[in-house]
Chain A
Amino acid sequence: MITPNEIKETLSKALPVSVIETQDLTGGGDHWQVIIVSPAFEGKGLVEQHRMVNEALKAEIGDQRIHALALRTFTPAQWEKLGS
């Protein structure tokens, strides 16, 4: 189990993040969907972007505090376009 704040804190330490939205998919605190918007994703493919996030949360995934992680990653420009 992990809290949204712990996810946000870990990610913010690893990456420059402008938006993080977390959703507990089952209510059990270990299946998460996380939306991350970061300028560090600029010029990178989705595989690389997801690798960066998985790497940042490696410890939490490794000890099963996070059992399943569905990711959506965006650059700030993509995120802005999505909102408009």
Chain B
Amino acid sequence: MADDIFTKIDEKVKNNKVMLYMKGTPDFPQCGFSAHTVEILRSYGIPFASEDVLADPAIRDGIKRYSNWPTIPQIYIGGKFVGGCDIVHELHERGELEPLLKTAFSE
């Protein structure tokens, strides 16, 4: 049961250069932290995939266990967990997000 969810998450995380687990959708975010994260990602003009955790309680719970991270949104770049809204904001401010994205998209 839990394994099914992890497999499902694993596939999305591995098959998308940037995968965002969020509340709502990029066009209709349902939480300020998710909205801010979308805003940052969009500022780079890169494509990203997303999944609305509010639409599926199993994913909402599963993603927290998958990363051992208690909050949503969660961003994965190049198959790796990068963090939540705080961390993405911080990396963006420090100029460290762009190299991460570049590496992911050049692979």
Which residues of chain A have a CB within 8 Å of any CB of chain B? 46-47, 50-51, 54, 70-72
Which residues of chain B have a CB within 8 Å of any CB of chain A? 68-70, 81-83, 86-87, 90-91
Q: What residues on A are CB-neighbors of B69 within 8 Å?
A: 47
| Contact present for B70 and A46 (CB under 8 Å) | no
Q: List 18 A-B contacts (CB under 8 A).
A: A46-B83, A46-B87, A46-B90, A46-B91, A47-B69, A47-B81, A47-B82, A47-B83, A47-B87, A50-B83, A50-B86, A50-B87, A51-B68, A54-B70, A70-B86, A71-B86, A72-B86, A72-B90
Q: What residues on B are CB-neighbors of A50 within 8 Å?
A: 83, 86-87
A-B contact count (CB 8 A): 18
Q: What residues on B are CB-neighbors of A47 within 8 Å?
A: 69, 81-83, 87
A51 to B86, CA, bound (A): 13
A54 to B69, CA, bound (A): 10
Residue among B82, B83, B87 with most chain A CB within 10 A: B87
- Of all A-B residue pairs in the complex, the 5 with the closest CB atoms, nearest first, are A46-B87, A47-B83, A70-B86, A71-B86, A46-B83
Q: What residues on A are CB-neighbors of B68 within 8 Å?
A: 51
Q: What residues on A are CB-neighbors of B87 within 8 Å?
A: 46-47, 50
Residue among B81, B83, B86, B91 with most chain A CB within 10 A: B86
